[in-house]
Structure 1
């Protein structure tokens, strides 16, 4: 596979990857096998280690390093993690010399400074221009601008094609588009809007290397772009007012798109699954993983509106190759227009 020079951007140089395609650090789903496969394909992989123990982080980082010598990131969420746990997570990442940290949700300036002082690259995923500016002022190296059509937790209310150029114009550091990006044409669109690449979750969730359960992967493949809802009803395990985008399911019947200020404290605990002895509750933020058993179809089936473009469970390498090939063809077509 060749590399079009238009696709080697400042983000590629910063992160040490061949293509400006960043795999989202999906909690539970993005583990070593997926991250290594993405990195080996020339894109940039990220371990989803939100609220995981230092021991889990150590194990996953070591596993990645046995499968690839390519750089990668760890995703943490300072604002939605117990401060003591976050401090121990960050300490472990720094001890392991993780080259890049990707943060999400509200900007915590001290978390950025600690990582930068230790020599890490820091990217911050945000949902607004205001948070992008704060992340830049706090020392972040790049911004991931997440639109409301993204899957999983969503921190803003503006579509990515509107938010991306607004953030690009507001900050002086590289910006990557997130939400609605799963193909080569959308990569070119990001570049056209001033972005330096794309950040993809749904496309990589439905891969053979993903740690998502097969029921989740197949649900994504079978869904179309009208089958998602944006709601804060999945509230257990996260702070209030934390909306997510999930696929419609038995659990979402009667919910629809709503942001009603659901709080975990108001939701009765009804166990519907388990993971190695840990109870998994209905309306928790847990998504179905390979390690879980029970009524998995009732769990949070995270997916973005781009799910309509995901038509099969492929390997991570095939996903990267498809995006790059389509982007190269799109650039060639555009440059040949007279």
Structure 2
């Protein structure tokens, strides 16, 4: 748990809304943000999101049950309605409601009927967007929090704007709290977001590279080695998603083989070749699957998600240490700015 007296400058109304101590949000990374990571972030004072994209109701039950046993802090479950088969989505949401999940995190296209369903059940809704238009639509549909995702984000990227420019535009367009996300990995990034009026920051890559993350050790090690310029925005890892759904990954043999043609790939023309496995489940070259703890095979050729903030990640640490490090860095940056402002006035 952080020193709340020292972290007091970081507290925003978002903390009161979500029931956390720090405006540091764990991104609901599919496959990666499982209960162990979520519990560690929540118990350290941040806000956790379970990444349950396209997962079965049975796994959702296991993960939510384990998370509730490991923490009494509030959390959200992340699903992606527009990228999930409707019957599975219905079952996912129904199971979450049966389990008493207090909040949902959504991404990609805004689907008002889905938001209405969970809002009727009394749940909070956080919606990640990549454009001002989508932010307005999400607020109109009932979202309680907007997450502004900049183009530097790892994983699936919906918009194409720099994170702070998009965040400012969305702050000007909506009335609900706004958190920034995408290429942000440090406490200085949190301080910059708060200084411009954002209510917090959502972190993905920084938490993928932690001990509790369900990502494969190979993926974590590649993030530690990488800089922001080592990442590529491409839609070649698109199997399982609609055409044109771009992702940001660490460059590898697949992206290097594109000879600069990183965008414009049609999933219908890509071969279906198994290159890795999770148990008896094949993982295909060009799929959106990233390597998890359970994955074996050609990990180098899989989607190694990472944002442009990867260069700020110097090692694999416990998630609680990552939270406290971000908080300390933000407090330092805010204090330094305040001192500089006072000296300027003097």
Normalised by the shorter chain, which TM-score bucket?
A: over 0.9
Whole-angstrom CA distance in 1 between matches of 2:35 and 2:56: 15
Alignment match of 1:174 (pick from 177, 180, 183): 177
**Which residue number in structure 2 is paired with residue 88 of structure 1?**
91
The answer on 1:184 being equivalent to 2:187 is yes
Aligned residue number for residue 10 of structure 1: 13
- Equivalent pair of 2:154/2:248 in contact (CA under 8 Å): yes
Displacement after TM superposition at 1:112 (Å)? 0.6
Pick from 103, 111, 114: which aligns with 1:111? 114
| 1:275 counterpart residue number | 278
CA contact (8 A) 1:243 1:259 kept: no
The alpha carbon displacement at 1:208 in A equals 0.3
Indicate yes or no: 2:71 matched with 1:63: no
The Cα of 1:11 is off from its aligned counterpart by 1.1
Distance in 2 between residues matched to 1:235 and 1:259, nearest whole Å = 12
Give the drift of 1:241: 1.1
Offset at 1:69?
0.8
Aligned to 2:103: 100
Is the Cα contact below 8 Å between 1:112 and 1:139 reproduced in 2? yes
Counterpart residue number, 1:78? 81
Question: Which residues of structure 1 form unaligned runs of 5+?
Answer: none
| Rounded Cα–Cα distance in structure 2 between residues aligned with 1:202 and 1:257 | 24
CA contact (8 A) 2:255 2:262 kept: no
| Residue segments in structure 2 that go unaligned for 5+ positions in a row | none
Q: Does the alignment pair 1:146 with 2:169?
A: no
1:313 is aligned to 2:313:
no
Find 1:32's aligned residue among 26, 35, 38: 35
Aligned residue pair count: 338
Answer yes or no: is the 8 Å Cα contact 2:9–2:331 preserved in 1: no
**8 A Cα contact 2:32 2:51, kept in partner:** yes
CA distance in 1 between counterparts of 2:196 and 2:184 reads 13
Query: Is contact 1:241-1:259 (8 Å) kept?
Result: no
CA positional deviation for 1:259: 5.8
Alignment partners' CA distance in 2, 1:254 and 1:280: 19
CA contact (8 A) 1:247 1:303 kept: yes
Q: TM-score, normalised by structure 1?
A: 0.98
Measured in 2, the distance between the counterparts of 1:300 and 1:191 equals 32
Query: 1:256, CA displacement in angstroms?
Result: 6.3
CA distance in 1, matches of 2:287, 2:325: 34
| Inter-CA distance 148–86: structure 2 relative to 1 (3 Å threshold) | same
**SS at 2:228's partner residue?**
coil
SS at match of 2:175: coil
Give the corresponding residue for 1:125: 128
Q: Equivalent residue for 2:167?
A: 164
Is the contact between residue 35 and residue 50 of structure 2 (CA under 8 Å) also seen in structure 1?
yes
Whole-angstrom CA distance in 2 between matches of 1:258 and 1:164: 29
CA distance in 2, matches of 1:241, 1:10: 36
Contact 1:230 1:258 in 2 (8 A): no
Q: Is the 8 A contact 1:230 1:256 kept in 2?
A: no
Select between 25-34 and 250-259 the one with higher mean Cα deviation: 250-259
Aligned to 1:215: 218
Q: Distance in 2 between matches of 1:240 and 1:330?
A: 41
